Amino acid sequence: MGDLAARIVEQAIKLGCQDAISDVVTNRSYQIRFARNEPVISNRWRERAAWLFMVHNKRVLLSDIKDLSKAEEAVERLVKIVQTSKENPEYAGIAHGPFRYARTRPDPKILALDDGSDHVDAAIHGALEEGAKECAGSFWRYEEAHDLVTSNGVEAQDHRANLYLSIRALVSLESSGHGIACATKLSQFDPDKAGHKAGRIAALAKNPKSGKPGRFTVVLDPLIFGSVTDQVAGRLSAWAVLAGLSPFGKKIGKRVASEALTLYEDGSADSIGRKRFDAEGVPTRKNLLVQKGILKTYLHNTSSAKRFKTKTTGNAGLVFPDPHAIFCKPGDWSRDELFSEVKDGLWLTNTWYTRYQSYVTGDLSTIPRDGIFRIRKGEVVEAWKDIRVTDNLLHLLKNIVALGNRTEQMMWWGEVSVPNFVPYALVKDVGVTKSAE
């Protein structure tokens, strides 16, 4: 399909465009969704499309051509359309290749995996063994191939495949836990462990009491701490900063978190978000985002980098720069040490629905779900329900006291949008509110 991408780019340039990118994407993913301990549907995709970016006299157009048999007519039509659009004076071009890319190839055993039922069964079995009554979730075998060609000398291919499983285990409506399994190699995929974790939390969360408002020292499980770091990474997109959707504006070089927090973005490292290149064909790399609490960079494509007088970080997004995968530098606390530090506080295992009253100040709330536990003298003394974390993103980051010494790869529906490698985190002075009856 590399020929097709090249033909599309060549045609766009011949018709008068100055810049063009085509990414021909083949999707052969497969999924099993399950609920109430059984599969509810299995899905399989056979899709191929050409993503197209073209620029004519600083007029920028994006498209996806789904009918590849008519790609030539589509390009001709799209070039006519882009000419009638409006100039983007901030457009600053696309990266100049060619580039050298890391050699990566998907695990052949993942490519050969034709049925994920055993993995679903393993996860459900693990949760039920811990005492769960009802399990729901998804198993994915993602497979995508990219052939990317740009008018600035890039010709690149990337074949990505990985496994993912998300399981929620319930003892009852208000007693639940969540587990995640991610792997780029079949041999590393451990759905049984994810099921056990979900089931264990669900069983521990039995008979929850209504929580109380206040300010608490909190242990964040990796899944919910991944929601926090995912928020950070998303808000560090230069586009979000310019659109007023970030509390990190004008904070490069300033303290945004406690010394305990060092965060990297790295699309080149082994993760289920690994990519050889970004949407401009720039090789992905390790970007230091936050070093010991000091903000180091936003995420950029070529245009946003020029606006901020810096270089692309390899995070295009042709309009919106975005993160590929986030890595939190682990601390040196064991899980037990983190818990024993909590004299009177909470352990939160998951959250959802993070929303802002002000993106610029970072004022937000988010709703813990699954196990919520009261901790006294380092021990779980009871399960809670029906609370909300009402706080501020920068306040949360600055109040990180300590991090666990082991990271886990987290990604989850809605809240953790890209893989986040995160440890347990201990955060002080976290605001908790609850509903009036």
Partner 1 sequence: MPDPDLVDYAVDYARQKRVAYAEARYEHQTQEQFILKNGVLDAVFVGEDQGVGVRVLVKGSLGFAATNTLTKPEVRATVDDAVKVAKASARKTPITFAQEDAVETEWSVPERKRLADVPLDEKIREIGEMDKAVMALRYKVPARYFQMSNNRIQKYFANSEGSKIHSYSPRLRLFYFLTVARDGDIEQTYRNYGWSGGWDGVRTLDWKEKVLEEARSMQRSLVEGKKSPEGKMDLVVGPQVSGIASHESCGHPTEADRVLGREASQAGKSFLTPEAIGTRVGSGLVNVVDDPTVEHAIAYYETDDEGVRARRRYLYKDGIVHEFLHNRETAAVLGTRSNGAARAVNYNVEAIVRMANTFVEPKDHTVEELLEGVKLGVYMKSFMEWNIDDKRYNAKYAGREAYLVEDGEVKHPVRNTIIELTTPAFWSAVDAVGKDLEFEAGFCGKSDPGQALDASLGGPSMRLRNVSLR
> 52 to 81, contacts with partner 1 by CB under 8 A?
59-68, 74, 78, 81
CA distance 206 to 175: 5
CA distance 402 to 134: 34
Q: Candidates 36, 209, 343, 376: give the one binding partner 1 (CB under 8 A).
A: 36
196 Rama sector, left if φ>0, alpha if ψ -120 to 50, beta otherwise: alpha
Q: Candidates 44, 109, 254, 377: give the one binding partner 1 (CB under 8 A).
A: 44
Q: Applying CB under 8 A, does 42 fall inside the site for partner 1?
A: yes
- List the one residue out of 27, 22, 30, 19 whose CA is nearest residue 6: 22
Q: Return the range that interacts with partner 1 (CB under 8 A); candidates 3-11, 92-100, 339-347, 365-373.
A: 365-373
Q: Candidates 155, 270, 341, 363: give the one binding partner 1 (CB under 8 A).
A: 363
Least gap, CB of 327 to partner 1 (angstroms): 24
Q: What Rg do the C-alpha atoms of the chain give, in angstroms? A: 23
Q: Applying CB under 8 A, does 348 fall inside the site for partner 1?
A: no
Least gap, CB of 286 to partner 1 (angstroms): 28
Q: Candidates 119, 146, 168, 300: give the one binding partner 1 (CB under 8 A).
A: 168
CA distance 89 to 371: 50
Least gap, CB of 316 to partner 1 (angstroms): 12
Least gap, CB of 347 to partner 1 (angstroms): 18
Least gap, CB of 331 to partner 1 (angstroms): 30
Give Cα separations from 63 to 71, 148, 315, 355 (angstroms): 11, 14, 19, 30
**Span 171-230, contacts to partner 1 by CB under 8 A:** 173-174, 176, 178
Q: Candidates 360, 377, 379, 381: give the one binding partner 1 (CB under 8 A).
A: 360
Give Cα separations from 165 to 4, 160, 176, 230 (angstroms): 34, 17, 17, 19
**Span 383-402, contacts to partner 1 by CB under 8 A:** 386, 388, 390
Task: Give the interface size with partner 1 as a residue count (CB under 8 A).
Answer: 86
Q: Candidates 359, 384, 421, 424: give the one binding partner 1 (CB under 8 A).
A: 359
Task: Fill in the amino acid letter for 347.
Answer: W
Residue 185 main-chain phi, psi, to 5 deg: -130, 135
**Span 91-120, contacts to partner 1 by CB under 8 A:** 115, 117
CA distance 251 to 265: 18
Q: Candidates 7, 10, 30, 380: give the one binding partner 1 (CB under 8 A).
A: 30
Task: Copy the structure tokens of residue 296.
Answer: 């180091």
Q: Candidates 1, 2, 13, 48: give the one binding partner 1 (CB under 8 A).
A: 48
Q: Applying CB under 8 A, does 136 fall inside the site for partner 1?
A: yes
- Residue 362, SS3 per DSSP: coil
Q: Applying CB under 8 A, does 250 fall inside the site for partner 1?
A: no
Give me the 303-332 binding string for partner 1, x by CB under 8 A, dash otherwise: ---------------xx-------------
Task: Copy the structure tokens of residue 190.
Answer: 């451990």
CA distance 334 to 344: 19
Beta bridge partners of 327: 264, 421
* DSSP character at residue 434: -
Beta bridge partners of 375: 345, 380
**Span 229-248, contacts to partner 1 by CB under 8 A:** 239, 242-245
